[in-house]
Structures are given as C-alpha cells and as structure tokens.
C-alpha cells in the first residue's frame, strides 16, 4: 500500500533531521578534539 | 545448538563483563594508569558489542520456551523490556569507551569529561544488567520469584516499541533510509582507511584518515539503533533467519577488527608515502571482506531462509 503524502513528508523530515544531528555531532567531536590537540 | 543455547551462553557476559570492565576502570582512575584505562575501555567496548547478540538471542529463547508449562508471557516480556533499556545504556557506554580510545590516540590521554560520562554509564548499565539477569532468572526459577514476578516501570517496553515500529506508517521507511545512510557513512570511512593501508592514496598519512573515524562510529551507531528497531518490530522475521545470524557474527568480527586500527601502534605510525606492514594489510583486507559480508547478509535477509 503506498504511503500517504503526510507519511512521506514525515520520512523526509525525520531522515534530514537525524542526518543533520549526526553530522553536527561528528563535526563537533572532530573540531573539539582538534582544538584540544592544538592546545596540548 | 540454537538461539536458546547462545542466549544461555552469552547472558552472563554483560553483567560479569561490566563488573570486570567497570572495576578495572575504577582502578585505573585511582591508580592514574593510562594503560589500565585503555584496557578497561576495550573491555567495556567489547561487552557492549556482546550485549547485542545477547539481546537478539533472547527472542529466540523466548520463542523456544513460550509454550512450556509455568512460563509466564508477561514475565518474559518484562525481562525483554528491561533488557532493551539496559542494552541502550550499554551501547552508550560502549560508544563513549570507543570515543575515549580514539581520543587517546590523538591527545595521548582520555579527557576528564569522557572519563566521568563513561563511569556514570558503566555504573548505571551494571545496575540495569543485574536487574535484567534477575528478571530473566525469575522466568524459570520460581524459588527467587516474589509473588507473580517483579513489576518494572517500563514493563513490556520492547513490545510497545515493536508495535510502534510496525503500526506507524512512516517508521519503517524512515529507519530503512537511515540504515542506508549509516551504512554509507560507516563503509565510506572504513574503506578509505583500509584502502590507504593496502597502498592506495599513499600520500595520505594514517593519522589524517584516523580523524574521520568518528563519522564511521556515528554511522555504526545509527545502524545499531535502526537495526534494533527492525528487530524489536518483527523479531520473528530475524530469529529464524540464517542470513541474520551470519550478519550479526560478521558485525562482531568487524568490531574486533576495528580495534586493531584504534589500539595498535603499527597503523598509527604509518606516515605519508610509507608502506604498511603485512599485518596491517591483512587487517585492512579482512575488514573489507567482513563489511562486504555484512552488507551481503543484510541484503539477503528477505531472500535466504524463508523467514520474511
């Protein structure tokens, strides 16, 4: 059974949201470690 | 041997492993020993990986005993719900343990904030896992039961989550898409590192690529969460599926393999234009084979074993 438009929108928004959170978290881990590395 | 045997074999590891890993970790903080810190983080990471097949095999054991006399469905589901909560905490502990090992490579120490977070999660995981063991014991040991069995605040949480996954129209396609994004992140980084070790992109040092590993770790995290949601949604689809057994076994081996690149000196010392030693090349090639195997078994889930 095909997904209704609201469910398709929910999938897109959730996928984009989770991907953005993951990318920001990985970026923050990388930058904060690099900053600490320079400080040390 | 079936999943019941595997569950009985594995179910002591999360509790005992947590006691050993947590004890070593506490000792390392008291003794201020970096070697002990790294050893304890490896134990905690290993235990967090073993906790995954322990949980998964539990559903197989549940299937095997559900029609036996004296087995209460609600007690089994209470044990399952508590196990899901404990598994979540254990995986977070494992994630911070891995991050600590990765940070140690870069900074020659584990930052204090990470030590504090790992300690708190280890202690909470230990308490929760001990409770799961007790609830599991109550299913078949009437002598330790209080009345009709222990009641927990989360109750049959795994079944509630499972129903949400299967009954919500957007949930499965969302998890499926995120599972592929996680896979792309994980394999993109892992293959880059492995190809460098095998002699491709020799101008790049291992340390430069090592910096990308958290992206792979986050990808793995997304896949563990989405994979667990699939499993909790329809466990029957996986517990009788040979392809799924192989997938989980290969993930465990790949996790072991990943430790080589996080812990050992050989790959870390690999500078630009340098050729990796044979052991590093074997580790890199085997990682690629293992991850391709994971992908193959994952894609073949609906086609092998007639479980879907």
DSSP characters over B177-240: HHHHHHHHHHHHHHHHHHHHHTTSSTTS-HHHHHTTHHHHHHHHHHHHHHHHHHHHH-THHHHT
How many whole angstroms separate alpha carbon B245 and alpha carbon B300? 12
The sign of the torsion formed by the CA atoms of B16, B158, B174, A18 equals negative
Same domain, B7 and B148: yes
Same domain, B144 and B33: yes
Same domain, B146 and B1: yes
- Residue B91 has what pLDDT? 97
Answer yes or no: do B211 and A40 touch at CB < 8 A. Answer: no
Same domain, B178 and B137: no
**pLDDT > 70: percent of chain B:** 100
The model's pLDDT over B143-171, given as tens digits with 9 standing for 90+, comes to 887 777 778 888 889 999 999 999 999 99
Same domain, B171 and B304: yes
Same domain, B230 and B268: yes
Same domain, B102 and B180: no
What residues in A contact B215, CB-CB < 8 Å? 26
Mean pLDDT over each residue of chain B, to the nearest integer: 93
Same domain, B21 and B4: yes
Which of B94, B129, B155 delimits the end of a domain? B155
The structural domains of chain A, with segments of one domain joined by +, span 1-40
Which of B155, B187, B203 delimits the end of a domain? B155
Look at chain B and report how many structural domains it folds into.
2
ipTM for the assembly = 0.89
Which of B155, B173, B193 delimits the end of a domain? B155
CA of B169 to nearest chain A CA: how many angstroms apart?
6
The model's pLDDT over B286-305, given as tens digits with 9 standing for 90+, comes to 999 999 999 999 999 999 87
- Residue B154 has what pLDDT? 85
The sign of the torsion formed by the CA atoms of B299, B302, B305, B308 equals positive
The Cβ of residue B45 has, within 10 Å, a number of other Cβ atoms equal to 24
Same domain, B223 and B137: no
Answer yes or no: do A36 and B107 touch at CB < 8 A. Answer: yes
What residues in A contact B111, CB-CB < 8 Å? 36
Answer yes or no: do A40 and B103 touch at CB < 8 A. Answer: no
| pLDDT band at residue B261 under the 50/70/90 scheme | confident
Query: Region B186-194: what's the mean pLDDT?
Result: 95
What residues in A contact B173, CB-CB < 8 Å? 3, 7, 11
B170 touches chain A (CB under 8 A): yes
Core vs surface per residue B229-246: b (16+ CB within 10 A) or e = bbbbbebebbbbbebbbb
Same domain, B193 and B276: yes
How many whole angstroms separate alpha carbon B201 and alpha carbon B204? 6
DSSP characters over B282-301: HHHHHHHHHHHHHHHHHHTT
Nearest CB among B107, B185, B221 relative to A37 is that of B107
pTM over 0.90: yes
CA of A20 to nearest chain B CA: how many angstroms apart?
11
Same domain, B80 and B219: no
Answer yes or no: do A19 and B178 touch at CB < 8 A. Answer: yes
Is the pLDDT confidence value at B203 over 80? yes
Residues in chain B: 308
Same domain, B261 and B303: yes
Query: Region B85-99: what's the mean pLDDT?
Result: 97
How many whole angstroms separate alpha carbon B49 and alpha carbon B29? 23
What domain range includes position B212? 163-308
How many whole angstroms separate alpha carbon A25 and alpha carbon B188? 18
């Amino acid at each position: 059974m095909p997904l209704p438009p609201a469910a398709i929108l929910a999938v897109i928004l959730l996928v984009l949201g989770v991907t953005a959170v993951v990318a920001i978290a990985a970026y923050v881990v990388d930058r904060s470690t690099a900053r600490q590395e320079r400080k040390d | 041997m079936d999943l019941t045997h595997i569950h009985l074999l594995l179910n002591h590891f999360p509790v005992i492993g947590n006691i050993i890993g947590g004890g070593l970790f506490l000792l390392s903080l008291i003794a201020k020993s970096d070697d002990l810190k790294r050893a304890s983080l490896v134990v905690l990471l290993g235990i967090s990986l073993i906790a995954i097949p322990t949980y998964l095999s539990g559903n197989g054991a549940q299937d095997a005993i559900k029609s036996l006399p004296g087995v209460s469905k609600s007690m089994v589901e209470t044990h399952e719900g508590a196990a899901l909560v404990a598994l979540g905490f254990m995986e977070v502990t494992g994630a911070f343990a891995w991050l600590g090992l990765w940070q140690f490579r870069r900074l020659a120490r584990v930052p204090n904030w990470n030590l504090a977070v790992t300690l708190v999660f280890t202690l909470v995981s230990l308490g929760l896992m001990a409770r799961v063991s007790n609830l599991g014991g109550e299913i078949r040991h009437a002598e330790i039961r209080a009345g009709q069995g222990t009641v927990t605040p989360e109750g049959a949480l795994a079944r509630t989550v499972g129903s949400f996954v299967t009954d919500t129209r957007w949930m499965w396609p969302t998890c499926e898409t995120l599972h592929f994004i996680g896979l792309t992140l994980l394999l993109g980084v892992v293959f880059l590192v492995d190809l460098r070790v095998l002699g491709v992109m020799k101008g790049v040092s291992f340390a430069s690529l090592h910096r990308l590993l958290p992206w792979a770790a986050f990808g793995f995290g997304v896949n563990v969460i989405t994979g667990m949601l699939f499993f909790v949604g329809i466990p029957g689809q996986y517990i009788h599926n040979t392809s799924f057994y192989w997938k989980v076994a290969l993930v465990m081996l790949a996790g072991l393999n990943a430790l080589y690149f996080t812990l050992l000196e050989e790959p870390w010392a690999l500078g630009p234009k340098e050729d990796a030693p044979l052991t590093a090349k074997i580790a890199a090639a085997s990682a690629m084979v293992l991850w391709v195997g994971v992908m193959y078994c994952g894609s073949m889930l609906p086609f092998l074993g007639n479980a879907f």
